[in-house]
Structure 1
Amino acid sequence: MGIRYYAYAFDGDLTEQVLSDPMTFVSVDPLADAWGLDPGVGISGTTFEQLISERDMLYLDKAWRHLQVLTAPLGAAMAARPAFRMFEGKVTMHGEGWDPWVRALTPSEVLAIAQDLDDISDAEVRLRLPDSPSVDRDLDVEYAVGYLRRARVFATNLVDDGRGMVYLIG
């Protein structure tokens, strides 16, 4: 199935609670939330429509990696873009699969991220994504841009509502 990205919004007044235990704010079955599956059933009949409101959940499928590359530092001595905090992280691989990466972002962190996401142009996506001979470049860029736009809307809505977020890569 692969490693995917899921983010859940939380109200600003819950920030301390979320920071102390972010996993309590992540669904037990994020893929079911994203794909419209019955929770805990695995692959079953699905609507392929997100069960949770797009103001409350962001699903980036596997595009998180593209957005991570896009916002990461350009070089070893350079700083990452503020938006990198929203995509940073990698799972811990082991014999039985992987352990997810989980991070909580406060409402003030989300503000800086939302402002930075607004500054990323579609042209910058094309410039920053690496070329791969096995991937159609135009489709890859279109895929990344589509999910970048979703991330922008989600972050903007969080700022408007004074909310933070918890994300899981896994």
Structure 2
Amino acid sequence: MGIRYYAYAFNSDQTGKALADPLTVVGADPLADAWGLEPGFRQGVTDFRQSLPERDLLYLDKAWSYLQRVTAPCPAGDRARTAYRMFEGQVTFTDDGLAWRPWVRALPPHEVELVALDLETISDHDIEAGLGRFCSSRQSLESELAYAIHFFHRARDFAQAVASDGRGFAYMIG
């Protein structure tokens, strides 16, 4: 099914616990949470509405890798943007690449505030320029750009909402 991105907001009084073990904040079945299914589903019907409010759960599908590229350090050696903290990470492949362990991280409220401020400064044009470094053709860029921009706006809105509530979030790439 692929490697996906999920972020779960937590209240500031949970920061120590979340930093010590980010998985304590992440749902037991993130894909079910994102797709509006019962945890542990095997089959079912859904309208693909998240089980949790958008202020509490961010699902970036597979677009996280595009947002990671846009915010990552440039090949020229520049530093990563502050927003990169929200997208940084890779799974660890196991069993000769047939399985993986997820990447998890928790961001405390003060870091979420900085990430949200940085996301505000990124324009759709910046996303296009960032992705342009990786796409082999204009047609490829255009097809991926709308997808990346849609999920970038969701990420920006989520980070702003979490920051305005003085909360942190834990995310999982896996």
Normalising TM by the smaller chain, what interval?
over 0.9
Query: Which deviates more, 134-143 or 149-158?
Result: 134-143
Q: Which one of 90, 106, 109 corresponds to residue 107 of structure 1?
A: 109
Find the counterpart in structure 2 of residue 59 from structure 1.
59
Give me the whole-angstrom Cα distance separating, in 1, the residues matched to 2:152 and 2:42.
27
TM-score, normalising length: structure 2: 0.93
Find the counterpart in structure 2 of residue 74 from structure 1.
74
Is 1:143 the counterpart of 2:147? The answer is: yes
SS in 2 for 1:103: strand
Q: CA deviation at 1:139?
A: 2.3
Unaligned 5+ segments in structure 1 are: none
2:99 is matched by which residue type in structure 1?
G
Task: Tell whether the 8 Å contact from 1:37 to 1:43 is kept in structure 2 after alignment.
Answer: no
Give me the whole-angstrom Cα distance separating, in 2, the residues matched to 1:21 and 1:120.
30
SS in 1 for 2:151: helix
Identity, in percent, stands at: 52
Q: CA deviation at 1:94?
A: 1.0
Q: CA deviation at 1:42?
A: 3.2
Residues 79-136 of structure 1, C-alpha deviations (whole Å, 9 max, x = no match): 1000000000000011141000000000000011001100001011111102135963
Find the counterpart in structure 1 of residue 10 from structure 2.
10
Q: Aligned in 2, Cα 1:161/1:64: closer, same or farther, shift over 3 Å? A: same
Find the counterpart in structure 1 of residue 100 from structure 2.
98
Q: CA deviation at 1:10?
A: 0.2
Number of aligned residue pairs: 170
Task: Tell whether the 8 Å contact from 2:17 to 2:24 is kept in structure 1 after alignment.
Answer: no
Unaligned 5+ segments in structure 2 are: none
Give me the whole-angstrom Cα distance separating, in 1, the residues matched to 2:16 and 2:73.
29
